Structure 1
């Protein structure tokens, strides 16, 4: 029996397998609205056998977008635009997930597809960015430090976005607290120099993300709730795996069901050590110390490696990104490679299923 192709129940939802689609920015939205591209891009992964299909980082407010071309869910019109995409994903047997995000000091930046780099000027559609402290990401504009009212609005924006996502039919919500975006900026002492109740101690630095977890759980009691953390900043004096495990424990107590463990993205001077499965050790550490379900990410690009991660007890599921882009039917192919007998090959594709897989 393949662990990768066994179901996993997370909170009130059950995914048909443990090979999921990671959030991947497409830089193809118009005023935050998903387009035909997003429909085709996301739904193909459900046809390809994914257990969960996650949207790109979807902004809870206009100023929370990474770039002007990112998707959002800050209005009912955005909610309604997501409905046909969610319906199509679920019709094909996958769970539909949305990553709720606020980019903080890394917002208002040029899309990689634009050929430009750095902060988008206001005259060209950019906006003032916000952060825990007025410390810019290298090469970007200086953000404004959020005051208490601004922090309260962020919490309210996440809760409102969660309600809209539920109304659109999403099964899974993921709070983005990684990769140097706003919630991660509060967590790390490299970007959070506040001297109030949101800065200093780990408890204070975690206060905003824990408020957001509680607010989203209250707004969306019937979804599976994930939180993505960067467990290591890859820089001296930054957020650490041990701190991550502590914050994960607190977030679990406030209603989060599973933790998506990544790393990096906070500072330009990070010194990454990459390679296949290079972030698995962080997921394994959090799972062992906090005793919670986790998934792992990071260059998990073949079925044998994914199966081995789960068999070793290092994670409960894996998310992949680039491999799904290379092969939108990654899960169907992986099931053949692992000899897993699954019953959700699309009927239209059965003629392509190898005979040995049909009789496994």
Structure 2
């Protein structure tokens, strides 16, 4: 019997940052959506130096979800990973992050993959190889950018939340957030929506949003839905001021109703600040602007979700 074909790839990059800084970014898997463009969301369960992660990412223009086991070796600066549950057309995949130094003394990051395609299908193998090549190049470039920006990383990153109590059922609140295809009719700040859900609970949402000055901007997001209490998302197309934007809608049953919380995490693009806000603006002004703009829209959405759920409760 012919053995299944295993394919191996290696991608590498040099980084002008200490090895421990690079390793910390790789270790912080729940922070990957703010660091790596293809990564949408990660849930992790850790037991010492071993962890099981559930990850969603874009690959070849599609949204894929899989479960992996990771083993961290801090002394040797390595992180091994193996997919426990793969997503078609992948039959099996694993690999390793290896951090060291090159002959010139710069930090060298090597990203290794091995994979098999379902049925050893050549077309599927080529699809996987192209996806690995594309994602690995993006991830390594983003890793270098984040590591080399380390002194400003915390200054450029902000996380904030807004909450609202609702005298209605959590399921009705969840349904309002889930049915983003109806937001054009339900939300005054949304002028256009295009939503697709080819895989259940994995949505691609493109939306035109009106700003305070009456203009509109277009965003494109991947949303992962966990009925009936959580929807997480990442914007693949962000407004000019942001290099990354992730968020979460959390819907919890509480005494006498429901509490809905909207959380945003944003990484600012320092090169875009003066173009968007003017020559005198800096990071402080950009943080204030983003906090107000995103908070205003999410609070408006929660207010409409509240009216919707309370209207049902009052029938």
Shorter-chain TM-score above 0.5: no
TM-score for the superposition, normalised by structure 2: 0.25
More strand by share: 2
TM norm structure 1: 0.23
